[in-house]
A = this chain, B = another copy of it.
Amino acid sequence: MSGTTIAIDVMSGDHGPQVTVSASKHFLSRHSDVKMILVGDEQTISKELGSVAADLKSRLTVQHTTEVVAMDESPALALKKKKDSSMRVAINLVKEGRAQACVSAGNTGALMATSRFVLKTLPGIDRPAIVTALPSKRGHIHMLDLGANVDSPPELLLQFAVMASILVKTVENIPSPTVALLNIGVEDIKGNEIIKQTAELMKKSNLNYQGFVEGDSIYTGDVDVIVCDGFVGNVALKTSEGLAQLISSIMREEFQRTLLRKLSAVVAWPVVRAMKRRVDHRRYNGATFIGLNGTVVKSHGGADRLAFAHAINEAYVEANKDLPQRISEELTYWLGEKE
C-alpha cells in the first residue's frame, strides 16, 4: 500500500463524530497521499460524512464498531470490557499494519492503557511517555512527560530525553536537538536526588544536554526539548491552560466594560486575533504517546475541527517518517556513553 494510512477513532472526545469526521474529511481532501480508516458507528459516520467526492471515496474506509469508551471510564475496565470500542479497534489497525498511525480524542488513561497493551513498548523502552509541542518565544519547544508516568526514575527520564531528541531530529531535521532538565533552580545543587542523578546520566549520554532550566524556560527559553516527570509536566501544562483562560476571560470582561472599550475592541481586534493565533492551543493540539511500537496521537478531548486536524497532521508527519522505527534504530546510540 503506497502512502500513509491513518486510523481515526471518530467516536471519542467531547464532541464525537461531529468534529472528528468533518476534520478527517477535510484533512483527507488536502493530502492526496493519505488514506484513512474512520472507526466507529457506520450510520453515524455516513450521516456526518454527507456526500463524498470520488477521489476521497477511494481513499476512505469505514470500520464499523459498536462500543465507545466513555471519557470518565476506568482505563482497566475499558481495556477489559470494550473490545469493540472505536478506540480499541483504531489501535488494533495499527498493530495489524493496516494503518501506520491512529488518532483519538478519548480518555487519556484508557488510550494509554490500551495502546500499551496492544502495541507494546519498543525494545529498550521501559514506559511510553506523552510529548507535545508548546509555543515559546523562539517558536516552539517539545516537552515530556505530560502525565503518563509519576515518580519517574533517572533511567526513565533519560529514555524520555532520547525519544524526544529522536522525534525532533526526525520531524524537524535538527541533527542534535538541545535538551534541558526541568528543575527548581539552575545550580547543580538544586533539586532532588532523582534530578541530580538524571543530570549525571544525561551528561554521560550522547544527548546534546544543556543542563537545568526553570519553569519559565518552557515559554521563554532556548532549548528544543524539556524533560520532566509526568506529575510535574502535567501540572505545568494544566497551570498554563488555566492562566491562559484567566487572561482571556479578563480581556473579554475589560473590553466589554464601557461602550468606548467595546469600540476599541473593534480597532484592536486584528492584534488580539494575531496574538491568540500565536499561542493558540489548537495549533499545538496532538500529543504523541512516544515509545510504543506504533504511532498513537492523543487529541484534546474538547478539540474543535481545527484542533483535531492538527492532531491528525501530527500523526501523519510521524507515521510518514516512521518515528517508532527511527527510535528503535537510534536508541542505543543516544543512550550510549559519550564517545
* Contacts A151-B192, A231-B191 given; does A239 touch B219 at CB 8 Å: yes
On chain B, the residues within 8 Å of A261 by CB distance are: 270-271
The answer to whether the Cβ of A184 comes within 8 Å of any Cβ in the partner chain is yes
* A216: contacting residue among B137, B151, B238, CB under 8 A: B238
Q: Which residues of chain A from 213 to 241 have a CB within 8 Å of any chain B CB?
A: 214-221, 228, 230-232, 234-241
Give Cα distance in the complex from A218 to B240, angstroms: 10
**Most chain B CB neighbours (cut-off 10 Å) among A184, A236, A247:** A184
Hey, which chain B residues are within 8 Å of A247, CB to CB? 244, 247, 275, 279
Encoded as 1 (CB less than 8 Å from any B CB) or 0, chain A from 246 to 281 comes to: 110111001101000101110110110011001100
Tell whether, in the assembled complex, residue A219 and residue B245 are in contact, meaning their CB atoms are under 8 Å apart.
yes
Given contacts A191-B150, A215-B237, A239-B218, is CB(A275)–CB(B250) below 8 Å?
yes
Closest to A76 in B: B189
Instruction: Kindly state the separation between the CA atoms of A216 and B248 in the bound complex, as whole angstroms.
Output: 13
Copies of this chain in the oligomer: 2
Chain B CB within 10 A, most for which of A109, A185, A191, A238: A238
CB pair B234–A236 under 8 Å, yes or no, is no
Q: How far is the CB of A189 from chain B (nearest CB, A)?
A: 8
Give chain B residues whose Cβ lies under 8 Å from the Cβ of A215.
Answer: 234-242
Query: Do B184 and A150 have beta carbons less than 8 Å apart?
Result: yes
Does the CB pair A264–B254 fall under 8 Å? no
Closest to A214 in B: B238
In the complex, whether A302 has a CB less than 8 A from a CB of chain B is: no
State whether A235 and B246 are in contact (beta carbons under 8 Å apart), knowing that A184-B147, A191-B150, A271-B255 are contacts in the complex: no
Contact across chains for A271 and B268 when beta carbons are under 8 A apart: yes
**A221 and B241 alpha carbons, distance in the complex (Å):** 12
Docked-complex contact B231 and A184, CB < 8 angstroms:
yes
7 contacts between A and B (CB under 8 A): A151-B192, A217-B242, A219-B242, A254-B275, A254-B278, A264-B270, A264-B271
